[in-house]
Structure 1
């Protein structure tokens, strides 16, 4: 994983606590109304009884999933149907959990020889999900996580010579994915073949990759602080997005394919309009390298990224594109409202005892899951 190169940002305690939505409560279920009766146990509202409307199928509004890892958890993902959760551990394992009750640890996937850095589910039948895991050992493994071992390990992919920091499934072909590594290369793979279809050498450690909507070009972020769109057929940079001042930590395309989310060690979250010919300069000309700054839709704060541990922090869009969620070095999980692209922080969820390394939004319900360097996952519901 790439090392942070700039100064870290901090978030004040006052700013954090003013947005806290997870209050300490003693709770009891009100089964007849589908609500939760809560009694505040701290602050000026101590002893106040109130009813909170439940918004999901979780057994409790907040759940801690622990015991699956012996160290840091570096990434977390929901399966496409939202029924299971996969978590990537620095202990070389991938843990698989049930999202809903009993929220149990189903299994651990064991085959990497170093830390598992990132995960991605592929499009597949709900009964037979497929999961990619990338590792600091330089390899990527395709898993059938619900199959019994050893049949759960489908294939190992070898090409990279250093830590693999990012993997991204192709939006137009369920058998294609891309990976980016500290070795300065991007590989494009077919899940049916052990060797890459293509290798692109960019010359610097790659920390984030994400496909464009057309499935023929790739957004690449790294320690040069920039985001480059590569045409994979011509092997050329189409344009460069330059606004971040430190390493790119995460890239995610919106569900519509129109906007790109970037998170950086400069502790800013940026949203870019990446539609073809979406911008114009003052003379009415469209496109062109000189006008790429106009693609920047907004710059938002709220998550501290690139702290002393220099861990890559992951972000995610909701399936409807109305919210964005991210981890943070201040131990919180941050949720932004993106419906109007104004990036208003609506939740800053505490609970972790270490850097919140990744967060993901459930594909069907208002549920967020977050992973942490403290070795735990937090699963909770938010307002729709």
Structure 2
């Protein structure tokens, strides 16, 4: 027997040949099996690292005592916010030790949705939250201070969004059938739209002049805010949409529905004629399948990647699914959660994704896209 083979002090290393155009320094060695209680490594392989995370995948847990319903990266990508049914919002470090920074407390019922201000200075970021207690709260996440509580809804608030530029305006919607517009500096609504039935999701257009409204009638209606009238409607879902998000370019709207389909809509003011053979709404660009909404009827949240090429959504199959939009191709089915995956969010600068779940945990990991 050759010297050392089979002894406790030896290790078997599987070496991968890097691609010709790949930076060898970006590859790390990790142990994937061991012997003698971990004292000696049994099998080591090289993997390509794509981000500045300390590990390729990290579980963030221990902060919440109930389901996590939403998660978002801060605009600078340094912080993650997570909203929970336990009435709190947790803040986490994206990098380093991934420490739980603080817990924001102020709502009296489940926190259903959150969003960061895209225009607030990096030195004084702002976070907005919506709750089943019928209110919104404006937070200073740096200090944990509650800056303002916004009252106007008469029931559960399901969704909120913020304008991308110009004057900072919020829109919120809920089970009371109201869509309310807010100046975060004023505790009373600026304006209101009475839809007349429960609204599950809202989103602003790129210039903030329109609001996309989805509810239990299964359609997505585009409201002109100056006239408070419907400009056009996006029809195709066969069950209530659970989430809406505008693409980084502002030209496409992403929607997920309880019918387990993810749809990409062309929302440009003057959309071109659809190509020959196009089926369905003239504005329907893609229908993506492969995720399931689940039996819990949760308002699962969608996400666009920063480059606008990929989208992600969770689902009742306990995975986070990532697609390339133009290829209509599933790139990843990310496992790890022990319950419904309720939300996903892409990092604004790096190939990193975070997902939340009813299992009370966040999974933070790097992908190769």
User: Given the two structures, how large is their TM-score scaled by the length of structure 1?
Assistant: 0.84
Find the aligned partners of 2:167 and 2:124 in 1 and give their Cα distance.
14
C-alpha RMSD of the superposition: 1.9
How far apart are residue 343 of structure 1 and its match?
A: 2.3
Aligned ranges for residues 99-138 of structure 1 at < 5 Å? 99-122=94-117, 123-138=119-134
Find the aligned partners of 2:236 and 2:295 in 1 and give their Cα distance.
23
1:211 paired to 2:204: yes
Find the aligned partners of 1:117 and 1:173 in 2 and give their Cα distance.
26
1:139-191 deviation per Cα after TM superposition (whole angstroms, max 9, x unaligned): 0000001115xxx1110000001111100101233521100111001000001
Find the aligned partners of 2:56 and 2:274 in 1 and give their Cα distance.
48
Contact kept in structure 2, 1:78 and 1:361, CA below 8 Å: yes
Equivalent position SS for 1:209: strand
The structure 2 residue matched to 1:356, chosen from 338, 341, 351, is 341
- Name 2:4's counterpart in structure 1: none
The structure 2 residue matched to 1:78, chosen from 73, 80, 85, is 73
1:224-258 deviation per Cα after TM superposition (whole angstroms, max 9, x unaligned): 10000011111111001110000101111100111
The structure whose RCO (Cα within 8 Å, separation 6+) is larger is 1
1:243 paired to 2:228: no
How far apart are residue 322 of structure 1 and its match?
A: 1.1
Find the aligned partners of 1:342 and 1:233 in 2 and give their Cα distance.
37
Equivalent position SS for 1:33: helix
How far apart are residue 292 of structure 1 and its match?
A: 8.6
How far apart are residue 35 of structure 1 and its match?
A: 2.2
- Name 2:260's counterpart in structure 1: 267
1:142 paired to 2:138: yes
Equivalent position SS for 1:207: strand
Cα distance change of structure 1 residues 82 and 174 upon mapping to structure 2, 3 Å threshold: farther
- Name 1:333's counterpart in structure 2: 320
Find the aligned partners of 2:28 and 2:283 in 1 and give their Cα distance.
44
- Name 1:288's counterpart in structure 2: none
Find the aligned partners of 1:176 and 1:114 in 2 and give their Cα distance.
24
Aligned ranges for residues 167-186 of structure 1 at < 5 Å? 167-186=160-179
Contact kept in structure 2, 1:251 and 1:262, CA below 8 Å: yes
1:100-148 deviation per Cα after TM superposition (whole angstroms, max 9, x unaligned): 1111110000000000000000021222210001000000000001115
Equivalent position SS for 1:308: coil
Contact kept in structure 1, 2:236 and 2:280, CA below 8 Å: no
Find the aligned partners of 2:113 and 2:328 in 1 and give their Cα distance.
26
Find the aligned partners of 1:127 and 1:103 in 2 and give their Cα distance.
20
- Name 2:287's counterpart in structure 1: 299
- Name 1:60's counterpart in structure 2: 55
How far apart are residue 303 of structure 1 and its match?
A: 1.2
The structure 2 residue matched to 1:308, chosen from 295, 308, 324, is 295
Equivalent position SS for 2:171: strand
Find the aligned partners of 1:105 and 1:278 in 2 and give their Cα distance.
45
Cα distance change of structure 1 residues 268 and 48 upon mapping to structure 2, 3 Å threshold: farther
1:229 paired to 2:206: no
Find the aligned partners of 2:257 and 2:350 in 1 and give their Cα distance.
28
Find the aligned partners of 1:354 and 1:367 in 2 and give their Cα distance.
21
Equivalent position SS for 1:171: coil
* Gap runs ≥5 in structure 2: 1-23, 34-41
Find the aligned partners of 1:120 and 1:356 in 2 and give their Cα distance.
18
Equivalent position SS for 2:281: helix
Find the aligned partners of 2:257 and 2:295 in 1 and give their Cα distance.
15
How far apart are residue 48 of structure 1 and its match?
A: 6.2
Task: Kindly name which structure, 1 or 2, has the bigger radius of gyration based on alpha carbons.
Answer: 2
Contact kept in structure 2, 1:298 and 1:342, CA below 8 Å: no
- Name 2:86's counterpart in structure 1: 91
Contact kept in structure 1, 2:274 and 2:283, CA below 8 Å: no
Find the aligned partners of 1:292 and 1:260 in 2 and give their Cα distance.
16
Find the aligned partners of 1:292 and 1:308 in 2 and give their Cα distance.
27
